[in-house]
Amino acid sequence: MLCYKAYSRAELVQLLGTNRIDAIKNRLDRDGYIYTASGRGNDLIISITGCTKQFEVFCKEELNFPAQTNFDRLKDFLKRLLFDEEFARLPFAAMEREIGISSQTISKWIKILAAANLITLSRGDYIYYISRRVNMNDLEIIEITEQQYKDAWSAYWEGREDGYFLSVNRLYNVNEGTPHKRGIMVENAFEMERMEQLRELLKGD
């Protein structure tokens, strides 16, 4: 994000990647920056005094979210993810049911946060759960223990010679659902400053 200070044309060209004054101003307008301009040509000075889209700009510039992201929906999701521990433990399919954002989109957003080094999904500590269809439209998600997860897969492999479909039925019947696991989300301690910036922006409204 641009700081609230005065920038020369040369500084803005380097930061925004364009030499055209109209393109620089269009970019500032699009990102919600409040500014004043003085001087002309190479002597142009733009003073940034505020920003009406701080969350959006932070997500694009600091976390590399695409410009076409629905930032209102992203904000709703991140508020739940970062301030609601129970929500953060849910499988993506259950998150979808809670917040109305597709599990594919949630998975993509989680990967962007991981690529930005804000979080990791642990490869040693997991959440275990089963999914089962209640009716044509509703999927029930229930957290289980690691042992229950292992018991289900043991039942699958022990009878694998009987054929795939019988093995899957045994897998399902152990806990009356299909077992899954997901790495627990862990915040990167080396990125706490940026994480706190994000939390402050989420608290803003």
pLDDT reading at 65 higher than 70: yes
Cα 8 from Cα 39, distance rounded (Å)? 10
- Confidence (pTM): 0.79
pLDDT reading at 132 higher than 70: yes
Cα 90 from Cα 98, distance rounded (Å)? 10
pLDDT at 197: 92
Closest to 71 in 3D by CA, of 63, 90, 200, 85: 63
pLDDT at 139: 80
Q: For residue 115, what pLDDT band results from cuts at 50, 70 and 90?
A: very high
How much is the mean pLDDT over the chain? 90
Terminal-to-terminal C-alpha distance of the chain: 19
Q: For residue 205, what pLDDT band results from cuts at 50, 70 and 90?
A: low
Under DSSP, is residue 159 helix (H, G, I), strand (E, B) or coil? coil
Average pLDDT on 179-183 reads: 90
